[in-house]
Amino acid sequence: MSDSLSHRLLRGDVRALARAISLIEDEAPEGAALIRTVFPHTGRAYLVGVTGPPGAGKSTLVDRLTEVMRGQGQTVGIIAVDPTSPFTGGAILGDRVRMQQHAGDAGVYIRSMATRGHLGGLARATSEVALLLDGSGRDVVLIETVGVGQDEVDVVRTADVSIVIVVPGAGDDVQALKAGIMEIADIYVVNKADREGAERTVATLETMLGLQRFEPDDWRPPILRTEAVTGRGVPELVQTIERFRAQMTAQKPARARARAAFRLRDMLGERLRRHIEQQVLQPGELEEYVTRIAERKQDPYSAVDEIVKRAVRQNHP
Ligand SMILES: Nc1nc2c(ncn2[C@@H]2O[C@H](COP(=O)(O)OP(=O)(O)OP(=O)(O)O)[C@@H](O)[C@H]2O)c(=O)[nH]1
Ligand SMILES: [Mg+2]
């Protein structure tokens, strides 16, 4: 079943794509087989991560980027990683409405993903969906995420280029950026440049960048100003993305390796943990360990030693 599905997907069939993404989202067993078949045919799409605080204008900007890229004849896939809990879903609707202008354009495929409920982690689910879009022949995949948690940072890490959006007057947000987002930013965008304080925000970012060290050949993240609502500054942003892509060609193998290493380690950890929870420990045993550790009757190091020893013994009796 999933074999013919993967072949239809590889030919660019949109219904097969939608079905395949659902399998990944539902963490269905067919998903792994699907990824296996599609994987050799991927690596062609350019993955653009767009992150920033809630309401920064990410969706509006993604919509504008899509407009410009479509104008260049590129096909686009959009993954909107939705920040709302599964109980509201308000923003999903918002995104849909905002992206109406691309409805009916077969060159644009939009998919929202919930942030909660991915056992294997949001970053993995997102990168697998990006892989499917890549395999189905999309030239560009735009990934919108709210820049808050480690999960979201990991999502952006899987992109080829990371755009970090900041808005004027968000002094605290700019400070908060330092935490993890700054190290992944390839391009800064001060959106809502029509608002007061935009220049001050640019200056703050400049100062923060000034504290970082760059070698002569390094890419120094540029700071752009956009007005997503009117589209002002968006063509320049697209040009900057292209410039980054061109300059990074030489480093592509290194980036690909880093990403592959991250993914392999992540999947190994996940697989081993699941194996131990399901095949080594008896039902309820994990909770017993948790209780002992919480009550300080056992330390976590010796608990892990014990469990790992049992796992090894089980496989080498
Ligand atoms: N004044 C001004 N408003 C903007 C600009 N860009 C976006 N907005 C408005 O900001 C609001 C939020 O825009 P969205 O695109 O939904 O922002 P978002 O970052 O996707 O929001 P979440 O996905 O909910 O985190 C909307 O009302 C937009 O119209 C801009 O350049 N200037
Ligand atoms: Mg949005």
Q: How many Å from the N-terminal Cα to the C-terminal Cα in the chain?
A: 38
Locate tokens 């040009």: which residue?
239
Q: What is the pLDDT of residue 90?
A: 44
Q: pTM of the prediction?
A: 0.86
Whether the pLDDT of residue 163 is over 80: the answer is yes
Task: Specify the long-range contacts of residues 72-75, CB closer than 8 Å, at least 24 apart.
Answer: 72/238, 74/107, 74/139, 74/140, 75/107, 75/108, 75/137, 75/138, 75/139, 75/140
Nearest CA, atom 32, ligand 1? 192
DSSP H helices in 136-233: 150-157, 171-177, 198-210
3-state secondary structure of 116: coil
The number of residues making up the chain comes to 317
Nearest CA, atom 21, ligand 1? 55
Site to substitute for ligand 1 among 59, 62, 112, 167, most atoms within 8 A of C-beta: 59
Nearest CA, atom 15, ligand 1? 57
Give the residue with greater pLDDT, 94 vs 184. 184
Q: What is the pLDDT of residue 148?
A: 62
133 Cα to the center of ligand 1, angstroms: 26
**Rounded-to-integer distance, Cα 315 and Cα 97, Å:** 54
**Rounded-to-integer distance, Cα 35 and Cα 23, Å:** 11
Q: What is the pLDDT of residue 87?
A: 40
Residue 91 pLDDT class (50, 70, 90 cuts): very low
Q: Which of 250, 35, 253 has its CA nearest to residue 133?
A: 35
* Domain segments of the chain as ranges: 1-41, 43-247, 263-315
Give the residue with greater pLDDT, 212 vs 291. 291
Whether the pLDDT of residue 204 is over 90: the answer is no
Q: What is the pLDDT of residue 122?
A: 76
Residue 302 pLDDT class (50, 70, 90 cuts): very high
Q: What is the pLDDT of residue 174?
A: 62
95 Cα to the center of ligand 2, angstroms: 6
| Mean pLDDT of the 179-191 span | 83
Whether the pLDDT of residue 95 is over 60: the answer is no
In 3-state terms, the chain is what percent helix, strand and coil (to 5)? 55, 15, 30
On whether the CB atoms of residues 280 and 310 are closer than 8 A, the answer is yes
* The architecture CATH gives domain 43-247: 3-Layer(aba) Sandwich (3.40)
Residue 26 pLDDT class (50, 70, 90 cuts): confident
Q: Tokens representing 127?
A: 């990168």
Site to substitute for ligand 1 among 50, 59, 60, most atoms within 8 A of C-beta: 60
Q: What percent of the chain has pLDDT over 90?
A: 54
Whether the pLDDT of residue 77 is over 80: the answer is yes
Nearest CA, atom 3, ligand 1? 192
The Cβ-side half-sphere exposure at 184, using a 13 Å CA radius, reads 27
Closest approach atom of ligand 1 to CA 232: 31
Nearest CA, atom 25, ligand 1? 54
168 Cα to the center of ligand 1, angstroms: 12
Residue 156 pLDDT class (50, 70, 90 cuts): confident
The Cβ-side half-sphere exposure at 174, using a 13 Å CA radius, reads 21
Whether the pLDDT of residue 83 is over 70: the answer is no
Give the residue with greater pLDDT, 75 vs 85. 75
| Mean pLDDT of the 158-172 span | 83
Answer yes or no: is the C-beta of 93 below 6 A from any ligand 1 atom: no
Q: Mean pLDDT over all residues of the chain?
A: 86
Structure letter (DSSP) for residue 227: B
Q: What is the pLDDT of residue 175?
A: 61
Q: What is the pLDDT of residue 217?
A: 83
Phi, psi of 116 (to 5 degrees): -100, 155
Answer yes or no: is the C-beta of 89 below 6 A from any ligand 1 atom: no
**Rounded-to-integer distance, Cα 178 and Cα 166, Å:** 12
**Rounded-to-integer distance, Cα 145 and Cα 83, Å:** 8
Residue 212 pLDDT class (50, 70, 90 cuts): confident
Q: Tokens representing 74?
A: 């590129």
182 Cα to the center of ligand 2, angstroms: 20
Q: Which of 153, 117, 115 has its CA nearest to residue 27?
A: 117
According to the per-residue pLDDT averaged within each range, which of 146-160, 226-240, 269-283 is highest? 226-240
Give the residue with greater pLDDT, 252 vs 264. 264
**Rounded-to-integer distance, Cα 168 and Cα 162, Å:** 20
**Rounded-to-integer distance, Cα 78 and Cα 140, Å:** 8
Q: What is the pLDDT of residue 85?
A: 43
Q: Tokens representing 315?
A: 């496989």
Site to substitute for ligand 1 among 65, 92, 201, 229, most atoms within 8 A of C-beta: 229
Residue 93 pLDDT class (50, 70, 90 cuts): very low
How does pLDDT run across 192-202, given as a tens digit for each residue? 999 988 998 89
Whether the pLDDT of residue 1 is over 60: the answer is no
Closest approach atom of ligand 1 to CA 80: 23
Residue 149 pLDDT class (50, 70, 90 cuts): low
Nearest CA, atom 2, ligand 1? 192
Whether the pLDDT of residue 244 is over 80: the answer is yes
Q: Tokens representing 13?
A: 């069939």
